[in-house]
Structure 1
Amino acid sequence: MLQGRTEAAAFSVLEYLASEAPAQQFEDLVEEARLRGTTGEELERLERLKQLGLSIRSQSKRRQQREAGLSALVDTARDLAMPYDLDTLLKVITRRARLLLGVDMSYISFPDAQQGYIYVRTSDGHTSTLSVGLRLPDGAGLGSSVLANPAPFWTPDYLSDERIAHNQAIDETVRAEGLHAIMGVPLSHRNHPFGVLYVADRNVRHFTTDEIALMSSLGDLAGVAIEKAQLLDQTSATVTDLEQHTTEAEVGLRLATELSELHTRLIDLALSGGDPHSLTREVCKRLGGAIRVYAADGTVLTSASDMPERDENSVVLAAMDAHATRGPVRLADGTWAAPVSAGTVGLGTLFLRTDSPLADRGEQLTRVVAQAVAIPLLLENSRTAIAVGHVRDELLDELLANPQRPPQQLMLRARRLGIDLGKPHVVVVARPEGEAQGKVATWASLYAHRMSGLKRVQDGLAVLLLPGTDPSAAARAVTEELTPLLGHPVTVSAAGPALDPTSVFHGHQEALRCLDAMTALGATGRSASARELGFFGVLLADNHDVDGFVDSTIGPVLDYDQQRFTELARTLNAYFETGNSPTYAAQKLHVHTNTVARRLERISELLGPDWQKPERAFEIQLALRLSRIRQVLLDRREVPDDGAAGEHRV
């Protein structure tokens, strides 16, 4: 009887297992037997059957869950094998992880070693502050443990887990999301972790070994997929760069071909007798835009199409920049300026502006056109101009050399070049207070050509020999023109006028000493002549022009005394010797004070109202003393000795 009941109970357990009955039915089977009064060995057998049934049921359910997880993992692997870009792939991974384990959220973080923090790259299922771009401090939290020891790390309740190195910022984020259970697995590339995949639940949850193993497998698959996506992104970027470079190379090759064809056409046209006009028209015909060529002296040689007019200063400044760099320069309005030259001699300046695709190669294009324009200029008159330019430079070098050639030879050579050294010339020396020697050389050539003079540029100094009689005015003119063009101060000295080749040399030496004196006096960035330096000019000059200094300082007073037989100069002496006192001066002269007062008024009319200012008064006193000494020496030379006097009397 007992055997039959046990068999019936065994069949019932098998039926429960086959129908996947809930665990409560296994419990009810034993409870019903106990209510029927079953005890002893039979009840123990029934209890044993229940336990076996529940164990089989649990193993079967676990096996089903594992199979479902593996199936989902296979689907995930198939999904991750699709060619996603990196951002899309990360979204797929987080969504799959959340669904695979049935959690509330998932996210992926990457460390930034240089910045020292961990940032969330993507997330799924978040509701508050945990979002893409969130930065978390490195060295704390669950992710740091995963990266430090590449292995899964999980906790059923994050905030209460003391194994974790907590950080206030991370704890506040977890608290704001309401998270409890968190698990992280490493994302690795060839055993080197580069990120962490997290799953998190808002309930306290103990992750099973199967769930941990499933997440580890997903992490491995995700790491491989991310590596593939990154490689794909890099490959795509490389392909894009190559395509762009290929396109640029094709465009560059086409432009280079067009530029070469234009160069060949212009050179052929120039060598076949084409003049600058035909060349500029050909350029505008092929490229559009406008072109203009200026000669070395600033006059317009040729112009094609509608080139805006430029003032003289802007033309000179652009020419200086182009010739100084010996190549094309781009101006503020987009126009290119290039030197038209033969060797080191400038023939002019070319201005070019075009809207052609070749405008992207404006420097090469302008250089090609300038070279072509230089050919007809060279064939027409440049050889003569170059020869004359060298001869003119050599003439000034010989005028400034020591010892000089015979003056007659220099005068003859100068007349052949259209320069009359018998007429007054002034020597001007200009020194830029900055790095602009190349620009100064170009400007000096243009200025000397315009002023019918000579130039030399050496050791940072521009030396000009210009027609004229006023060195001070010449120095000021150079300063006023050159300083704005260079954009920084220029110290200019001048001397003269020179009336012969020898005086040119002495004028140059005097101008150099004047320049040194201005530097010593702190007058850099100014202009002056030896004459303007007053008695300093007398000391600096080779010929020590005392007469000129005296005449320019007190000449009107001396002339007045000579013409009217007055004593204004003597009154001046007495006035200064008595400490500028009219009363004491009257006593010394034995005249009335009113007489001295009237004489001083006349002096003011002759010398100007500022003659008593300290600097002017000093020069007047020096001129008075020089005048007295000169007169004493002249009087001595005119007095004969005793023998001569006796012979004269006889």
Structure 2
Amino acid sequence: MADQASQMRSLRDVASRINSDGDLETILRDLIHAACEHGGWTLGSVMAIDAAHGEAHVMVRHDPTLLRRPLENRWELATSPALIALQRNEPVYIRDARASDEFPGYRREAFERDYRTVLVLPMSCADAENRPMVLNVVSRGITEVSPDDLAFMSMIVHLGGIAVEREHRIRAERQAAEQLQKALQTQTTLLQEVLSGGSTSALAAMLADLLPAPVLVVDFSGNALVASRSPTPVHFDDTAWQRAIDTSLGSQIITAARDAVAAQRNEPRGLRLDDGERQLQLMARIEPLNVDGQAVGALVIFPTAQAAGDLERLLLDSVKFALSVQMMRSVIRFRFETRTLTELFFEIIERRWRDADDVLLRGRRLGLALGAPARMVVVDFPDMPSLPADISVDCHHAVTRLARQLNVPASVVAIGGGLVCLLPHDEDDDQERIGRLARRMVETLRHSFNREPIVVLGGVCDGLDTYPKEWERCWRMIRIARAFGRTGTLSASDFGPMPMLIGAAESADVRSFVDSSIGIVVAHDRKHDTPYLETLAAYLREGCRAQACADAMGLHVTTLRYRLARIQDLFGIDPETPDRRFAIELAIRLHGVIENGSATAG
């Protein structure tokens, strides 16, 4: 070995050589070359230790031999001193590999490649896959290695470790800079897409290339779901996943997203889905999409095993902002169109229009074919306290989405406490088609209210003059349904003559008839808490048969006869004559309709 001054110069040369710019492989190649050149060794290599698989891999070699031949690049750790060097964190010196029985692999190669002494030194660094490394050097002849020689070689290895760690830091900084640049470019691209009027679907399509994890965009205002790619390729490919969320899984995902946003929970949680054929359990993180404190949607992220870094979170924030802006534009556009459509509908049913052509033109611009026959279906929401402020918007989107799924062209109008659906009239399959849609509407909206709404199947509107009449007819049936506690799908045939009675009961003459017939009985019952009207109604209902009426009311027949006598004495009502009996019974029925209607209105 050289003297101390020569060793110092050698170390300086080694440091200069491995400190030059280059990738990890170049640094290692310069390191092993410098170690052989200045340490007096013939051959050398740097090996990465894969302890999990029990192997050592040769990363770079220094072999000035002119004869090129295939060499062993993978060693079993059981036959290599590399693991011993790492475990003890000290060099392993094999004076004569040809005579060593401890490492048969080295013994065999020593004869094949003509070398004798081997020195294995652990390196205080790892490769790009975080595998620890060792440096091996060999000589043709037997070399005696002194403590000073070991110190010199250890210093070379230490300088190499410093260079490797520096390269790792540079690479990490380079990757971070590239990710930051990508995040900034992504933010610019997303904002350009939004400002240029791009759709939510176009933005969601961009996310497949931007985010490593599959995501799902839930648009509350548009009632739409758009996926970047499938989170469970085993069950759905990308196309099948989008089709599934458009049909069977959509309402489940929207409900889960709304619940998570309302509860302000964005930690990963289990998302249980059922498409009718299988049950899926997916882990998902639901991030709210807010604008000015209003939740306009959600970003459902199906996280991968890799934890998100700071730059990925920055990228995610950019994505959320762009999606929020895009969805707020949809909210504003939807509210304007809905308000305009509602105003036009009420202008028609309240007969406030003057120019029919102007109304038809305005309707055409809003998607209403007012000149063609259309069937009216009216939805009345349940009267419930503490409903969400945007429940009407949600129901509007749910019905629109349902009609699209059933291939039924429908114009949906929001009317405050309900909806009006105008469906093109088709005489061939009108009843079956409308009935199927109405039943599905009840099922869909029941999830929003936890109870059934009233869905009235109205008649056909053919011309602007028929809309007010059909609207009044449908609303009359809603009042009847409310009065008698009916919900679900209803039509005029479900009520018999009741709609006509309701219409008649609202006239002043009918109210006067009711008051003159039984008004005094009603007033007496209210003042004295007597059951005379109830008794009279039961008696007429049982065909004026005293015993049957007494049994139905749970009274003794004598008590019933006493009440009937008192009714005749107090009010002069004798239901025994046919004409008088019909008048009293009709008055009682109309009174019930009027009372129920007043209670509902209140």
Higher RCO by CA contacts (8 Å cutoff, separation 6 or greater): 2
The alignment's TM-score, normalised by the length of structure 1, stands at: 0.36
Q: Rg: which structure is higher?
A: 1
The structure with more helix, counted as a fraction of residues: 1
The alignment's TM-score, normalised by the length of structure 2, stands at: 0.38
